[in-house]
Amino acid sequence: MIFSHRLRVRYGECDPQGIVFNANYLLYVDVAFTEFWRHALGPWQDMVERGVDVVVAETNLRFHSPARFDDEIDVRVRIDRLGESSITTEMDIARGEDVLVAIRVRHVCVAAGADGGPGLPENVTSTPLPDWVRAGLEPFVAPAQIG
C-alpha cells in the first residue's frame, strides 16, 4: 500500500530561478513522513510517550526534474524494509505522473529520553521496533519500487 500526501509549493521555498531550493525537498519528506506516521500509527507524540522515537540516520535524493512555485506535488510513501531496529522508506515527489525526486530514507528506532526526545546524542542507541509499530507499518511494505 502507498500513502500519498499533497503539498503546494510556496513562494518562499523557491530559489531565485523560481524552482524549489534543493534542501526544501527534505522538508517535504519530513511533512509527508509525519502525516504517514499519523495515518499508520497515530500522533508522533503517542509513540514518544510509549518510550520510543525514530530518528533519521540516512537520506538519498535523486533529482529528475524541478518543482516550481504553486505546483501541487504529491509525496508518495511506502516502506521498503522493516529491519530489527530500522525502517527504510522509499518516497517520490511527483507532479501528476511525473516523478520529480526519488528519495530513500532510513530511520532508526531509539529509546525516548526523559524530555520526550531521543536523549543526548552520546546516549542514543538503537532499540528494536516495538511490535505495535511493526504491525502499523506492515500494510505499507510493498515489493515494487517507487520512482
CATH assignment at residue 65:
3.10.129.10
Average pLDDT, the chain: 90
Mean pLDDT, residues 27-56: 93
Q: Domain for residue 146, yes or no?
A: no
Q: What is the count of structural domains for the chain?
A: 1
In a domain, 147, yes or no: no
**Any domain includes 102:** yes
Which of residues 142 and 89 earns the better pLDDT score? 89
**What confidence score (pLDDT) does residue 38 get?**
96
**Cβ pair 8, 146 in contact under 8 A:** no
Please report whether residue 145 resides in a domain: no
Q: Which domain holds residue 94?
A: 3-140
d(Cα 26, Cα 60) in Å, to the nearest integer? 10
With 90 as the cut, is the pLDDT of residue 113 above it? no
In a domain, 101, yes or no: yes
Residues 133-139 have a mean pLDDT of 94
Place 115 in a pLDDT band, splitting at 50, 70 and 90. Answer: low
pTM of the model: 0.86
Q: Is the model's pLDDT at 146 over the cut of 50?
A: no
Residue 101 is which amino acid?
V
Residue 122 confidence (pLDDT): 58
> What is the average per-residue pLDDT within 94-113?
93
Query: pLDDT tens digits, residue range 54-101?
Result: 999 999 999 999 999 999 999 999 999 999 999 999 999 999 999 999
What is the pLDDT at residue 125? 78
